[in-house]
Structure formats: structure tokens, C-alpha cells
Amino acid sequence: MTELDPVIHAPARLRIMTALTEALDDGDEITFPALQKLLDMTAGNLTTHLAKLEAAGYVESTKTFSGRRPVTFVAITPVGRAAFRTYRSTLLDLLGGTR
Amino acid sequence: MSTDDEKAPADAALMFDLMQTQRRRTQSRLVRRYAWLLLVWAAAWGVGFTALWFGRDIGGVPVLPAIVAWIVFAACMVIAIVWSIVTGIRSGNSGIRGRSVLQGTLYGWSWTISMVGAWFLTVGLQRAGLAADVATLLYPALYIFLVGVLYLAGGALWRSIAQYVLGVVMIAVVIVATFIGAPWHFLVYATLGPVAMIVGSFLLWRGILPAESPEPRRASAADAAEPREHGEPS
């Protein structure tokens, strides 16, 4: 029970999940470049970690077009939100409620 | 990853700090343009109302010709309004789409509708023969009061205590200024208003975390998925 979810328990992925939870309401999506700006991550790094989160079903991405330009939208799934909350609770428990 | 008893708490503490830093940074990035906007308004109020305060036949210390004082005031307001409009247009391009966009759009329009509506209201009152000594009190009071009310609404919408408090302060400033009366009210608007806005801007810049409803500590693993936040200063 005090096991931290390994999908989230990596600095880059924790930051991605935190930013998505914070910036998006249910039913919102954010473009890849805007998310990259929120995180100050390289595109390659962000792509790699998003792929891991997507494989776990925590985020989903939609590819679409804005005019002729391809745009990728990223959203956090309900499963992802729940996993993040669990991760946070577990973290707080590990810290013994000192925070 | 280690769940080793010795190592886990230190690791957890680092991850917790990382999470908190990212939360603040995300909030700060999302509202940075509004922090700038508040600073612009603080400057516009500071300079504009100070000019009126020093205007002959307008304020308490007659130094500037009345026409100069009004031109400076009008220029400050025009710059701040243009900045607001540009900020409003740009906010549509934050890279986020979905449900919260309508909320933001409607709230944005509330500002335009209130401010334009207030302007028509004052025109109507003027046509009805509003006395000049009342008008000088009413004009700034009406707009700033509306700004206060809109901050209250924004604070409620985004669960932002800081924004809500700024709204309360704005309304308090209007009441104090109006009770003190002309021409001293210009001095109140030139000082208290900008101070409140600069504090608000600083808080936005630092990254305000939305207030969370306190949740009881969970008793069982089944509740682990429930949101549980700890109170933190926003």
C-alpha cells in the first residue's frame, strides 16, 4: 500500500502529471508545445515520458490539424487523475503527515 | 525506486517538493499575463489619479493645469484598457481547449459587458442631470466597485482566495474614498488601489495554489483515491 506507483514515481513524469492535473479541468486538453512550455522540457524528453504515461492509460493524445499544421493535444484521463491522487496520498503517508 | 525504510522518506520528501514546485510554476505560467496586466493597472491608477490629485480645480494640490491632469489620466486609462483587450484576446491562445474555455470566455465577457454597461449608465445619469460634484465621486467609484465584484466572481470560479481578497479590498477602497469625499478620494485611489494591485500581481507571479477543501485523513486503503490536500498558503 505504501508502494509508490512506478509510472509516476520519476521526476519527469511526476512533473508532467502535476502540470496536467493543475492546468486542465475535466474535458480539457492542452497542445504539446504549450505543455512543453509549462514544463521547460525538450520535445524528445516529453515525448518519451508521455508515451510511458499513455501506455499506462494515464494520459491520451489526439492528433489533429490546425489549418495545415498538425497539432497534438494531450489530456489526462480519469484513471490518470485517480492514479495521481493515490500517488499523492501515498507520498503524504510516507512523509508521516508532516506536510 | 526504493521503498527501503531509511531511504523512502527522503525520496518522498524530494518528490513532494518537486510536485509542489511544479504546481506553483504551472499556476504562475498560466496567469503570468494577468500578473502583468495588474501591474499595468497599478501604474495607470498610480499615475492617472495622482495627476488628477495635482490638477487645478480637480484635486487637493493645484499644480497641473486641469486639462493636463485630465489628459494624463485619460492616457493612462486608454493604455490600460488597450492592454486589457490585448490580454483578453491572447488568453484565447493558451494552447488549452475544452470545457474550461467556455468558463474563461464567459468570465472575460463579463468584464467587457460590465465596463461598457457602466459607461452607458453614467451617460444616462448625466442626461438625467447628475450634479458635477456627485459625478466626480460616482465615476471612479462605479468602475472600481465593478472591478471588485468581478474579482469576487473570479475568486469564486477558480477557488482563488487571493483574488477574492483583492475584490474585497477594491470594494473597501471605493467605500473609504467615497466617504472621505472629493477631492481626497483621488488621493485614496492613487495610493491604496495600486498597492492592492501590486500585492495581487506579486501573488499571481509567485503562483497561487487554488484553495482545497479540507478532507479528513483517510482511514482505509479504499479511500486512497480520494483527493486529500494539505492547507498551504496561497
Can you name the residues that pair with A65 across neighbouring β-strands?
A70
Q: Which residues of A touch B15 (CB under 8 A)?
A: 4, 9, 11, 14, 91
Q: Which residues of A touch B100 (CB under 8 A)?
A: 24-25, 27-28
**Nearest chain B residue to A6, by CA:** B1
Task: Write down the pLDDT at residue A54.
Answer: 96
Nearest by CB: A89 against B8, B101, B228: B228
Q: Which residues of B touch A99 (CB under 8 A)?
A: 16, 230
Mean of the pLDDT values across residues B94-116? 84
Burial class (CB in 10 A: 0-12, 13-18, 19+), B6: exposed
List Cα–Cα distances, B123 to A28, B99, B135, B150, B225, in angstroms: 41, 37, 11, 22, 56
User: At B1, is the pLDDT very low, low, confident or very high (cuts 50, 70, 90)?
Assistant: very low
Nearest by CB: A11 against B18, B96, B103: B18
| Secondary structure of residue B185 in the 3-state scheme | helix
Task: Write down the pLDDT at residue B222.
Answer: 38
Strands annotated E in A1-99: 28-31, 59-66, 69-76
Distance from C-alpha of B154 to C-alpha of B145, rounded to nearest angstrom: 14
Nearest by CB: A23 against B1, B9, B26: B26
Which amino acid would we find at residue A93?
A: D
Reported as half-sphere exposure (CB side, CA atoms, 13 A), residue A92 has a value of 20
Cβ neighbours, 10 Å, residue B173: 24
User: At B176, is the pLDDT very low, low, confident or very high (cuts 50, 70, 90)?
Assistant: very high
More confident residue, B72 or B133: B72
> Are residues A11 and B15, on separate chains, in Cβ contact within 8 Å?
yes
Do residues B61 and B212 lie in contact, with contact meaning Cβ atoms separated by under 8 Å? no
Distance from C-alpha of B180 to C-alpha of B226, rounded to nearest angstrom: 51
Whether residue B57 has pLDDT greater than 90: no
User: At A72, is the pLDDT very low, low, confident or very high (cuts 50, 70, 90)?
Assistant: very high
Nearest by CB: A34 against B23, B96, B228: B96
> Are residues B22 and A19, on separate chains, in Cβ contact within 8 Å?
yes
Nearest by CB: B1 against A4, A82, A88: A4
Task: Write down the pLDDT at residue B210.
Answer: 62
Q: How far is A89 from chain B (nearest CA, A)?
A: 6
Burial class (CB in 10 A: 0-12, 13-18, 19+), B134: exposed
> Which runs of consecutive H residues, i.e. helices, occur in chain B?
8-53, 66-91, 99-127, 132-157, 161-180, 184-206
Residues 6+ apart with CB under 8 A from B166: B151, B155, B196, B197, B199, B200
CB contact burial A29-68 (16+ within 10 A = b; e otherwise): bbbbebbbebbebeeeebeebbebbeebebbbeeeeeeee
Percent of chain B scored above 90 by pLDDT? 40
Does B7 contact chain A (CB < 8 Å)? no
Give this complex's ipTM.
Answer: 0.90
- According to DSSP, the β-strands at B96-98 and A28-31 are antiparallel
Do residues A95 and B16 lie in contact, with contact meaning Cβ atoms separated by under 8 Å? yes
More confident residue, B80 or B161: B80
- Scan residues 70-109 of B and list those with Cβ closer than 8 Å to A: 94-101, 103
pLDDT digits (tens, 9 = 90+) for A2-51: 688 999 999 999 999 999 999 998 889 999 999 999 999 999 999 999 99
Domain spans, chain B: 10-213
More confident residue, A91 or B5: A91
**Nearest chain B residue to A82, by CA:** B225
Q: Which residues of A touch B9 (CB under 8 A)?
A: 94-96
- According to DSSP, the β-strands at A69-76 and A59-66 are antiparallel
Taking Cα atoms as reference points, which of B146, B126, B127 lies closest to residue B136? B126
Whether residue A98 has pLDDT greater than 90: no
pTM: 0.75
User: At B10, is the pLDDT very low, low, confident or very high (cuts 50, 70, 90)?
Assistant: low
Do residues B232 and B198 lie in contact, with contact meaning Cβ atoms separated by under 8 Å? no
Does B22 contact chain A (CB < 8 Å)? yes
User: At B7, is the pLDDT very low, low, confident or very high (cuts 50, 70, 90)?
Assistant: low
pLDDT digits (tens, 9 = 90+) for B189-219: 999 889 988 988 888 888 766 665 444 444 3
> Are residues A86 and B97, on separate chains, in Cβ contact within 8 Å?
no
> Are residues A28 and B15, on separate chains, in Cβ contact within 8 Å?
no
Distance from C-alpha of B2 to C-alpha of A90, rounded to nearest angstrom: 14
